[in-house]
Structure 1
Amino acid sequence: MATLQAEYERIRDSGRERLLQLSQPKEPKVEWYTSVGPHVRWGTQEMIWPVKPEALRADSTERLETLALPKVNFLKGDNINRSQFFYSCGRSSVLWKVRDSAKRSTSTERLNILAEPKRAHNEFKEDRNFRKYTHAEKLTFPNIPQFKYSCGRQSPIWATKSMPSGGGDREYTSELAKHKRPHRDFKPEKPIQTTIPHAALKAEATERLLTLSTPKPRPDGPFREPDWEVPGSAKNATASSRCLELARPKPAVDGYLLPRDEQWGVTKAAKRASSTGRIDELSRPIVRATMDHVQFNPDAFLVKPLALKGAFPPRVEQLSRPIER
């Protein structure tokens, strides 16, 4: 603590105020009305609650000493302190070496019962494909036919029955064995390179083809300038009546009114106008009582005298009766 105080004074004397500001611990954002317990300053090694001297001098009980004992390690030999990566993914096999005493031991009667495979139910019915075989043919299959398709069992391909001598393929079997034929309108793909016939290689172009293949002739110049003089007769020419008629713009429709301006002046009559009594009545705001007066109503639960003297009709009395079930 004295060393920290000396370092604090050295930094303060050296003028490094910014470093001194950053070295201060973070202030807790806790209000006085939500704080519970003593004030703990961040960055210290002090305990929240002081330990009593009686607790420091107290001795542990027999139960605590029993719970404090480490767990007994039953592994012996090479298996003591087995590394953690022994059980991780991608490591060597976790199958341990079998002891010689375990190899010479014999299984108990209970283990022999547990090692027996699960038997089929008494009302179990075999697959219909399995029923068509005779008893002699069934002997070639496993004792439990449902094992045939389970995981890790033998191949589901059954043994082929011996064919009679001189037997051949049936006509229907031979027809099914043929591959699928293409459609009668099927055309094979064309080769990538087209073969040019010898007549086309020895042919000569006609006169018409030579004429069409000749490039278009273009003169070398001189060309007319982009600007040229206008003759005087063109300048003195007058437009005909037909041209003047076509040059007229399209007139507007009869009765067409131009659009009004965005701003227009208010008339003097509108300025001197006054509102009627009805308009003044509608323009008055609605005066309502404040919420303090509305919520505080001392007569809210009082029954009016007329209600105390009133009598309900027989229909209301009939409806007020509970339903009898």
Structure 2
Amino acid sequence: MAGWQPGSYFCSYSSDRIRELAKPKKPKAWENYSSRLEWGNQETIWPLSRSTLTARPTPRIISLAKPKKNFDGNLQRRRLFLHSCGRVSEIWQHPPLTDLAFPSPLILKLAEPKKYQTAYLKQRPRSCPEWPVPTAALTCEASQRVLQLARPKSVHPHFILDRQVETQITDAVRMANAPPRTQCLAQPKIKKNSLCYDQGSPESPIRPVSRSAQQAVASPRTLELAKTKKVSSEYLPARDTEWPVTRAAKHAVATPRIEKLSQPCKRPTANLAQFDPDAFLVKESAKKAVCSSRIQQLAHPIER
């Protein structure tokens, strides 16, 4: 055939046949399989046929089933680790003498970090913490200004160090023992959480009143402060919900202007306003109107 060369692959199937073979096979045995499926074991999902159970592998399959050989002499010992699902995995374990062995010169050479090339160092941005320093920068002498800026900041002349403790405590005071009276006075005063005194008998007062307080006489200043605050002379109390209407108000007649203002504003409903094209029509006089200075002043927002 045209285009075929020795050693190349040729497929005699058509594209329709390839699409048909690419579709997954529908297992008919699984539709009739009604037994309960238990996960975690080595049982198959559907029962195997008798020919599958009695089949023998070919020499090629046996060759492919063999594990890959390990040619490293230091990893000959293996330790088997059993997973919880029943599968066995092989974990390599190195011999104990491997930690004490010295690396060869080739391993030391390969362990050295890779050096950067000069062209790469020149192309790197200055934001990188490392860049090549020219010889002129290494051998240059600092100017007086650079030496002045390199000096550390001196302490302020008015700076004062922490002062020492003025009171020196003697050893006798440190080793002294407080008497029981001092320990009693050093204890904090215990107060009750309640703001009222405990009431005993019903005849007793809420809190005890001393005899001197009962016989005390208030001074003129105390009497003056005890007076209640007077209401302002311009104070008007709240009116009642009902008050008498005067005779003139009952016989009053509303003017035509008041009657006109008292009528409610008539507006069409929202449904009719949506279909009215002139509902939001602006008059020509409103377009040519000029705001007064007062309206412009009121239009400014409140500054806060």
Q: How does the TM-score come out when normalised to structure 2?
A: 0.27
Greater C-alpha radius of gyration = 1
Q: How does the TM-score come out when normalised to structure 1?
A: 0.25
Higher RCO (C-alpha under 8 Å, 6+ residues apart): 2
